[in-house]
C-alpha cells in the first residue's frame, strides 16, 4: 500500500486522531496552517473529489460541521478546503477535506 492516508487508516503510520466512524477518519494536520487544522478523509480510497460519490462528499462535510462545533469554531467561522489536482495544490492523492479555523482567513487564497 503506497497511499499515505490509506496507511494512516490502517494504523501503519501514527496520526493525531480526533474522530473516527465506520466511514470517516479525522486527524490533525502534521503541518498546521491555522490554530485548528484537521484533515477529514474517507476510509475508502478515492484519488480526489472527482472520483467520489455524493454520499462520501456529504459524510466529509457533515463531519467537518460536527468538528467545527466540537473544536469551538462554529460561532466565529472556519474554512473547509478540498484541494484537487496539481494546480489545485493537492499533494496527497487520497481525497481529504481540510478544516481550518482559529484565526481570520484571507481571500483570495494563494
Q: Which residue in 37, 45, 94, 96 is the catalytic one?
A: 96
Give the shortest CB-83-to-ligand AMP separation in angstroms: 3
d(CA 75, CA 21): 25
SS3 8: helix
Where is 56: in which H helix or E strand? helix 54-70
Give the shortest CB-23-to-ligand AMP separation in angstroms: 19
- Which residues contact ligand AMP by CB under 6 A? 4, 13, 15, 27, 29-31, 39, 83, 89-92
Give the shortest CB-16-to-ligand AMP separation in angstroms: 7
The set of cell numbers assigned to 2 is 503506497
On whether the CB atoms of residues 61 and 15 are closer than 8 A, the answer is no
Residue 94 designated active-site? no
The set of cell numbers assigned to 46 is 478515492
Residues belonging to the active site: 96
Amino acid at each position: 500500500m503506497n497511499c499515505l492516508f490509506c496507511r494512516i487508516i490502517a494504523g501503519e503510520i501514527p496520526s493525531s486522531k480526533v474522530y473516527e466512524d465506520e466511514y470517516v477518519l479525522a486527524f490533525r494536520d502534521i503541518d498546521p496552517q491555522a490554530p485548528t487544522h484537521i484533515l477529514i478523509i474517507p476510509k475508502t480510497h478515492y484519488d480526489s473529489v472527482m472520483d467520489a460519490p455524493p454520499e462520501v462528499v456529504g459524510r466529509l462535510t457533515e463531519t467537518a460541521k460536527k468538528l467545527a462545533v466540537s473544536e469551538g469554531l462554529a460561532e466565529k467561522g472556519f474554512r473547509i478546503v478540498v484541494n484537487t489536482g496539481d494546480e489545485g495544490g493537492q499533494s496527497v492523492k487520497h481525497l481529504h477535506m481540510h478544516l481550518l479555523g482559529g484565526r481570520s482567513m484571507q481571500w483570495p487564497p494563494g
